Amino acid sequence: MPIKWLGGSKVHKSTGYHLVDISPWPVVVSLSVLGVTSSMVGLFNMGTSKMAWSFMIGCVMLLILGAMRWWSDIILESTYLGRHTNLVVKTLRMGMALFILSEVFFFVSFFWAFFYAMIGEISMNKVGQWPPVGVKAISPWGVPALNTIILLASGVSVTCAHKGVRVHNKCPVFNTNHKVDGFGWQLHSSKALFSIVWGSSLVNGFRSFFHWGNTSQIPYPSGELGFPGKDVLSLSKSEAAQKLTWKTRFESNLEKFEGKGSELGSVLPGGYGSEMVLQLSDVKSGSFFPGSSSFWREQLALSLSNNSRFEEKRREGEAYRLYTLFFLGWTVFLGVVFTALQAEEYYMASFTIADSIYGSSFFMMTGFHGAHVLAGTMFLIVVFIRTWRYHFCQHTHYFGFDAAVWYWHFVDVVWVGLFGVVYIWGYL
């Protein structure tokens, strides 16, 4: 099958999907989940066995490690290697929607069992009652009502964060601290800067003009380089924190830029300032950047004229990034508070999961929802870290953010149903 290279990855021309690399993490995660469930069965049957607890803790640690590595590989494929084309993103959205739909039907089965038991008990006149005899239902106007307010507030805050990342994504924002982290140092510029060069020449040119040793991976958003997709460039961890030197070969008759030490901020769109220095000691006609001197004058004039507007958009994007981080952090905090209150409610409850069909239904439904809250909280934490590291800027797709928001809203809707049916109706 014909294959073309796109941004350092193999993409089938006929399908538009990339070839997924061989990965051990699906097997690791599957085995760790099997170990966690098996150890839970052992705890239920053997009590607090040290062997069962040790095995469960080990499987949980393996699950966390496997999930983190798996997520890192997916982030590498999408953000740094550019393998997530529009078709791939569209398919991911469809898959997430179907996943949430399957979760809806999963909860429908629990609601069905609860209704069946409750209506069956109530229908037996003078004999049956709900909750069954000996079970004292939890008042809905205490911790459950507070948890409802908390989750609804978290839904509002995550929506604000979602709106913020949409604006942040459209602005030319980059990491001005020039720091290298685990995911690589992200350097982004404006379209005016990238319009100076032609297509893939930028890739080879940057590799030859930036003298970087030890490498990590750095993404460039699709559409900014003049060719579809992204590419991975080399970056020196040791030199990234220092002032960068860009040895640019302009034609020698550009008298305006003769000599050394001209700051790049005075030539190219704002945002770099004195952090990058334009060395023009070897200014002469070069073969790397094609074009005549008039071409360069036009491009430099365009860059200078767009400087103030670029800086304004960059500041706006950075402000919305902080706005997004604030509301994401607030949402994570509310999720943690909800989980803590739910655990306290379980501890204070006067019945257990073994007390009649009411106890079984109550703990299964609320506990399963609590597990989804934990998963959603971890989802949002990952999104928070990615936003902090500029993964959703410069028109890169932010489907991971969308998926986290969808999932959190799903958790909110399920809780509203639980509060109305299990707590209020069950209490009355």
Whether residue 388 is contained in a domain is answered as no
pLDDT single digits (tens) 190-215 = 332 333 333 333 333 333 333 333 33
Task: Please report the pLDDT score of residue 231 as a whole number.
Answer: 33
Whether residue 215 is contained in a domain is answered as yes
Kindly tell me if the per-residue pLDDT of 258 is higher than 50. Answer: no
pLDDT single digits (tens) 52-107 = 888 999 999 999 999 989 988 888 888 878 788 888 889 999 999 999 999 999 99
Q: How many CB atoms lie within 10 A of CB 297?
A: 15
Contact 151, 332 (CB under 8 A): no
pLDDT single digits (tens) 8-18 = 445 556 677 87
Percentage of the chain beyond pLDDT 70 is 63
Q: What does the block give as tokens for 387?
A: 């936003």
Whether residue 420 is contained in a domain is answered as no
Task: Please report the pLDDT score of residue 12 as a whole number.
Answer: 55
Name the nearest CA neighbour of 196 among 234, 231, 244, 248. Answer: 248
Report phi then psi at 224, rounded to 5. Answer: -85, -20
Q: Which of 60-74, 112-126, 186-200, 355-369 has the lowest mean pLDDT?
A: 186-200
Kindly tell me if the per-residue pLDDT of 120 is higher than 50. Answer: yes
Whether residue 204 is contained in a domain is answered as yes
Report phi then psi at 177, rounded to 5. Answer: -80, -15
Count of the separate structural domains present in the chain = 1
Task: Please report the pLDDT score of residue 378 as a whole number.
Answer: 93
Q: How many CB atoms lie within 10 A of CB 288?
A: 12
Higher pLDDT, 361 or 18: 361
Quick one: pLDDT band at residue 188, thresholds 50, 70, 90? Answer: very low
The C-alpha angle 201, 168, 239, rounded to 5 degrees, equals 50
Whether residue 279 is contained in a domain is answered as yes
Domain range for residue 257? 191-304
276-280 and 244-247 strand pairing: parallel
Task: Please report the pLDDT score of residue 265 as a whole number.
Answer: 36
Whether residue 104 is contained in a domain is answered as no
Kindly tell me if the per-residue pLDDT of 346 is higher than 70. Answer: yes
pLDDT single digits (tens) 20-53 = 888 999 999 999 999 999 988 888 887 777 888 8
Cα of first residue to Cα of last residue in the chain, in angstroms, is 65
Task: Please report the pLDDT score of residue 132 as a whole number.
Answer: 83
Whether residue 112 is contained in a domain is answered as no
Q: What is the DSSP string of 271-329?
A: T-GGGEEEEETT----SSS-S-HHHHHHHHHHHHHTHHHHHHHHHHHHHHHHHHHHHHH
Whether residue 212 is contained in a domain is answered as yes
For range 394-419, the mean pLDDT? 92
